[in-house]
Structure 1
C-alpha cells in the first residue's frame, strides 16, 4: 500500500466500520421497522443517519482538526425536537459502549475512536458537516445512502470519501446488508433482497491509483481485504446482454423514459438491475454485477449532491470503470455541495470498452428532444 493516504484509509475504515455496525444494529433492534423524520426536501431521515454522521465526524475531526467535512445531515431538526435529539444521543452512547470503539486494535491504530462527550458536542459534530469548501482536504459523507430502502431492510450504504482539491483520494463504503463472499465477489447478481441476515455485510475501499478492495464486516473487526481485478478494455458483453442499472421505478427527476430508449437502442432489456441507493449502484458496477448506469436529467438546471457520488466513483474507476458526463467530461467534485448540470450535464458510467457506444446512443436519444 502506498504510504500516501494509507493513514487516512485506516481511519476511514475504522469510522465506516463503526457507522455500519451502528446502522445495522438499529435495523435489528427495531426489526426492520425504522421510524423516519422528514427533511425539508421531503426525503426520509432516521436516527441512524444523524448518529452515524456524528460518530464519523467526531472521530475524524479528533485526528484531522484542520480538515473540512461535508455531510448530508444537519442538526437543525434535532435542536428543534428534544425528543428526537435524545433518541439520537442514546444511539451514539450505545455505539460507544458496544465494543465498536475497540476495532482500531485490529486496524493498526493505537488510539480509540473519539465519540461526542455530550449531546451538544454531538449536535456540533453533525453541523460541522455543513461546509461548502471545495479546496483543500474535505471529507464527504453520506451516513445512510438509500434511507428509503434502509427502512425496509434492503440495500443501503455508509459512504465516506476524502477529496483533496476536488480529487477523490480515499474511499470507504460500507454495505451492511449486502450478502457477499469477499473471496469470490465478482459478477454476483446484486439486488435489493440479497441481504446479509446473519452478518454485517461488506466494506469496499480504495486509495486513488492503488486499486479497490472488499472485505467482510464483523461486529468487532473487519475481515482480510481481497483486491478486485481491473477489467479489460475489450468491450465485454454483446449489446443485447448489457445490464442497465436503474433506481426503483417511480418518482425521480431523471428521464427514465430516455434511459429506457438508450437501452432499447442497443438491443438491451431495461431495466436490468433495480437498486434505489445511488452509491449501491456504484458498488454493483465495481463488483461487475451490472454494466451501465445512466443519469439523464431533463435539462441543465438539474443538479445532484456530491455525497451521492464521491467515493463510489473512485471505487469503480479503480477497477477500470469509465465515468463521464454526456459531453464526455470527467465529473468535477470541486463545485461545493452540488454537482451542477451546467458544469457536468448528466452522467454515463460503463464497464471498460462500452462508454463510446453508450454515449453515441445517448446523444441519438437526446437529439429527439428537439
Structure 2
C-alpha cells in the first residue's frame, strides 16, 4: 500500500528535478563567471530564482489548486522591469520544452508538468508564493538556497517542503552541484569546491516517518532511489571526531565565537565543514558528512525564514537526527514566514548519540553571558 503523501512526493520530485536542471543550466551558461559584485535585480541568479519558483508553483497549483504556497520571491520586480520579465519568461519556456521532451523519452506514462502559458500567468504563479499563513497545506520553497555560492559555482540547494498545519510531511531538495554516488553515500565530504562538473548532482527526499532517500539527478529524469541508513551515515562518536558545520566565517549574525567555544569545550576542531547554504548544512548532516550544527543568536530579536529550514530538517530527522531550540523545544513552522526568536530561540542539530553532550556544552557557554 502506498505511503500517505506518496503522490505529493512523486510530483515534488518531478518539479524539483525540473528546477534543478533549470538552475544548473543557467549556471553553466555563465561558465561560473558571475561574481557577488554583479548581483542586482536583473542578475542571472535572480532570473534563476524567479523562473524556478514560477515552474514549481505552476506545476503544483495545477494538481493541488486548493493548496497554498510560500516562497522567497514576489513578482514585483518583474512587473516593474519588462526586460527582466522577458528574460525570466524565456527560461520558463525553455524549461517547458525540456519537460515535454523528457516525457516523450520516458515510457512511464507521466504527463507533462503544467507550466505557465503566458508571461502574465508566470507572474501570477510567482506571486502565489507570497502567502503569509501556514495553516492547512502549504508548499514552502526556496528555488536557490545559497545565492552567494550559486553565483560562484559552488554548493546550493533547490528546496521544496509540504507543510500540513505547520508540520513537515514531504521534502524534496535538489543539490545540483553536490558530487556524490547515491549507491554509496557514506564516508563522504561535503565541500563548496567538491562540485559535480559533468552531471546535475543529487536529490534527497523524504516522507514523514518513511525514511529518507537519495537519487542522481539526470538531464532527463532521476536515478533509482537509495535509502539513507542512519547507522551507516552516522559520524564519529568521540568528541575529538565531531565535525561542526559552520557558515562562511564572519558572514553571519549568529554568535560564531560561542559556536567555537562549544566545539573547543568538546575537544573538537572548529570549524569542521564550512558551507554557506543553510539547507546544504542539513544535507551534510543527513548524509553523515558532519555531526553538529549550532545556531546561537545573540538575542531573541533575531529571526530566520521558514524556507531556510523546512524540508532539510525533515530529511535529517528521518535518518535519526535531533533538532531542538536552545530551550529544548521543537522548531515551530506554524507562525508565518519567520521562525521567531521568542518562539524558537536558536537551534541545535546533532547526530543522536552526541546531542546531550552538545546541549550541555551550549548551556554552559550561554550561562557565561552577562
TM-score, length of structure 1 as denominator length? 0.95
Using the alignment, how far apart are the partners of 1:295 and 1:100 within structure 2? 42
- The 4+ residue runs of structure 1 with deviation greater than 4 A are 103-109, 232-236
Using the alignment, how far apart are the partners of 1:114 and 1:233 within structure 2? 37
Q: Report the counterpart of residue 199 of structure 2 in structure 1.
A: 199
Paired residues, what number? 367
Q: Report the counterpart of residue 37 of structure 1 in structure 2.
A: 40
The secondary structure found in structure 2 opposite 1:283 is helix
Using the alignment, how far apart are the partners of 1:138 and 1:21 within structure 2? 24
Deviations 1:270-319 (A, max 9, x none): 00000000000000000000000000001001110000000000000000
The secondary structure found in structure 2 opposite 1:323 is strand
Using the alignment, how far apart are the partners of 1:53 and 1:101 within structure 2? 21
Q: Is the 8 A contact 1:159 1:174 kept in 2?
A: yes
Deviations 1:170-200 (A, max 9, x none): 0000000001000001220110011000000
Q: Is the 8 A contact 2:161 2:310 kept in 1?
A: yes
Q: Is the 8 A contact 1:293 1:349 kept in 2?
A: yes
Using the alignment, how far apart are the partners of 1:258 and 1:44 within structure 2? 36
Q: Report the counterpart of residue 285 of structure 2 in structure 1.
A: 285
Q: Is the 8 A contact 1:14 1:104 kept in 2?
A: no
Deviations 1:196-251 (A, max 9, x none): 00000000000001000000001101000000003399994210110000001122
Matched, 1:296 2:261: no
Structure 2: state its 5+ residue gaps: none
Q: Report the counterpart of residue 276 of structure 1 in structure 2.
A: 276
The secondary structure found in structure 1 opposite 2:172 is strand
1:213-362 to structure 2, matched below 5 A, reads: 213-231=213-231, 236-362=236-362
Label 1:144 to 1:101 Cα distance change in 2 as closer, same or farther (>3 A). Answer: farther
Using the alignment, how far apart are the partners of 1:258 and 1:26 within structure 2? 38
Q: Report the counterpart of residue 134 of structure 1 in structure 2.
A: 134
Label 1:76 to 1:234 Cα distance change in 2 as closer, same or farther (>3 A). Answer: closer
Deviation of the 1:103 alpha carbon: 4.7
Structure 1: state its 5+ residue gaps: none
Label 1:83 to 1:358 Cα distance change in 2 as closer, same or farther (>3 A). Answer: same
Q: Report the counterpart of residue 23 of structure 1 in structure 2.
A: 23
Alpha-carbon RMSD across the aligned residues, in angstroms, is: 2.0
